[in-house]
Amino acid sequence: MATTMAETGFDLTLSEEQELTQRAARDFATEKVLPRAAEIDEQGKIPPEILAQMGKLGFMGTYVPERYGGPCLDAVSYALVVEEINRACASTGVVLCSHMSLAIDPILHHGSEEQKEKYLPKLAQGEWIGCFALSEPASGSDAAAMRTSARRDGDHWILNGTSLRANRPGAEEERDRGVHRREGHAGVLRRQAREKAWDPRFGHRSAHLSGRPRPGRQSPR
More confident position, 198 or 40: 40
Helices (DSSP H) in the chain: which residue ranges? 5-8, 16-28, 37-43, 48-56, 75-88, 90-98, 105-110, 113-124
Residue-averaged pLDDT of the chain? 79
Residue 138 has pLDDT above 60, yes or no: yes
| Residues 88-119 pLDDT 10s | 999 999 999 989 998 899 999 999 999 999 99
Give the pLDDT of residue 131. Answer: 81
What is the pTM (predicted TM-score) of this model?
Answer: 0.75
More confident position, 190 or 177: 190
Least confident of 28-37, 125-134, 195-204: 195-204
Burial of 207 (0-12, 13-18, 19+ CB in 10 A): middle
Contacts of 190 (CB under 8 A, 6+ apart): 102, 103, 106, 130, 131, 132, 133, 207, 208, 209
For the chain, which domains are there? 15-126 (1.10.540.10), 132-210 (no CATH)
The model's confidence at residue 194, banded by pLDDT at 50, 70 and 90, is low
